[in-house]
Chain A
Amino acid sequence: MVPTSPKILALSGGVGGAKLALGLAQVVPSDALTVVVNTGDDFEHLGLKVCPDLDTLMYTLSGLANQTLGWGQQDETWQFLDALKRLGGDTWFGLGDRDLATHVHRTALLAQGDSLSAVTARLMRSLGVLTQVVPMTDDSVATLIHCQNGETLSFQHYFVRDRCEPLIKGISFQGIETARRAPEFEQLIAYGDLSQIIICPSNPFVSVAPILDLAETWKALKAADCPVVLVSPIVAGMALKGPAAKMMTELKMPSTALAVAQFYAGRHLSWISGWVCPR
């Protein structure tokens, strides 16, 4: 394998991670940065493959992100969802018309046999994204939320349909035991000359953990000959975006930046008695 030039590797979930990824993309050459994105949130909806974190990266890096909503595309319209509602369809997940085109096109390309990483690269190119954005895996990994009432919810049911209201007691990643890193991610880890590894300010439990736990990626990153820098997603006790602070409280952790550091450092484990991520 031909050695590559030094690369900055950023690990990202959705909105918070995408913001820092955009900042990085502004200050380093496009060929020096690879962003690996969580796919544990991905799901099938109305027969379509939806990849919320990848799409957030794509819309943010292409300048198409909806700054008002914090998700989806700017100048979005909702005729499809309105029509679906009239038909009695399932409308809990807000598919805008422009966003819908992404999911339809991705699903069609996947149905032709292309991998998620190949389809992602194609979609990114189409929207003019020069930064390499890679799904963590081409295999299926599904984040499951284990609730205190005994229910187990898919991530999007918890996050969008139920608006993060259920109290959680743990999280697991279905399929993580057999999933492999996407080829570009694997190549970067196996042969890439990594100069910096940055963990973006994303939810430690449902955005970063799936990437780190996939094929023991965290051990491979720990062994890399460069520092790993993590940006806290918790500021003054609150999450920059999403349910991280609420999850920390329910997992019996203080919702503080220090507790995030302690979580990654593997200390004070009695706090995280509810953590059910299999390893």
Chain B
Amino acid sequence: MGNNFPEEKVYKVSELTQLVKLTLETQFASIQVLGEASGVVLASSGHLYFTLKDSAGAMKVVMFRGQLQKSALNKLENGQQIIVQGTLSVYPLRGEMQIIASDMRLQGIGDIFAALEKLKKAYQEKGYFDPQRKKPLPLLPGRIGVVTSPTGAAVRDIVRILRRRFPGIAIVIFPAKVQGEGAAAEIAAGIEFFNQALPEASVDVLIVGRGGGSYEDLWAFNEAPVVEAIFNSRIPVISAVGHETDFTIADFVADLRAATPSAAAELVVGKKDEFLNRIDFLRHGLMRHMEKRLHEKKSTLAQLLMDSSLADFPGRLQELAQRLDGSEFALNRHFQQSLNRRLGQWNRAAQRFAAFDMSGMLKNKGLQVQNLGMRIGTNFSERLQQRCEKIRVLDSKLASMNPENVLAKGYSITTDQSQRVVKDSSVLVADEKISIRFARGQTAAKVIKE
């Protein structure tokens, strides 16, 4: 057996590993390898170590700090499908084969991201994302349309949350395939269906979305049919695709983007309790303001009744009557005239007061109060009546003092030629011409002295 080796060279381990290393590095100087990352370790030195594997193989990978900083993907997680670019080499100390990575990226993601960015830019330039295009959501949607898979977690989350927030709210689900071939067309058909529905079948807001998945799974929401359908929808659309970190073109073109389907349900309708509270709050506001208003009017009325021009009127009449009493026995023509004048004034005032438009007054100041059955109205009219009554009494009192009335009782007034009232017969001389005034008319007379 030993004979098989004689002329063969015997390598030292280090020689061999160096030789293999050189061979590999020459032969596989620049390769790309696809696999799943596992055992990811970022050393304190800043170098990244991991194993790249697939179902039937595994290989160590090292990415030195300098390359890692420049890499398209600089944060690696276990389980990620990645493509590593680098040189195949050997780690001489252990004789292990390894890839010295110069760059790495998520599988497919580079293409997807690039495509997504391109699409996003194109739609942005076409004005599809303009904020002024965004339609406001209805405060309380009568019916909520949902375009999603009827079997996924998304539809269950949406229905559960909507019913919790607003029991009894109407939800209509348009079942659509949300990934794979034909998904975009079905989603678009759902959006168009609701937009073309008859008013009674229509909805006030649409939730379009699906649960989480890979970028490929969510791709339908980047496709033109969906984007165009959302753009052309007259019904406000909420996009709810995947998780918080996932973004699709549908999210940008939608009127509102919800981080998740659950979040969409939260956004689409307020809590029923909150609506009821708001109405109650406004109802109390109405009552409070009305009470305040009535209270103010009540005060105004009281003020009005206290007002001197009204309240003092009977007092002033009384005063005048007293003055009249004092002058009762000293009536002369002048006084009488001025009295008559005053009487006329006061009569007119009294008439005005008696004829005071109480209904108009009440209409202007307190009609509504009466309508409300407020007692103040009644008080007011009673007090007015009392005052009118007082005025009537005073009025008749004044009337009884009117000299005309005295004449009516059969008395007469005698005046001399200088129109002085004759109060003493001794002042008269025989044949003096006098004038006698009766209740009706007057006559000239001559004094006969016996």
A and B part of one assembly: no
Q: Give chain A's interface residues, CB within 8 Å of chain B.
A: none
Q: Give chain B's interface residues, CB within 8 Å of chain A.
A: none
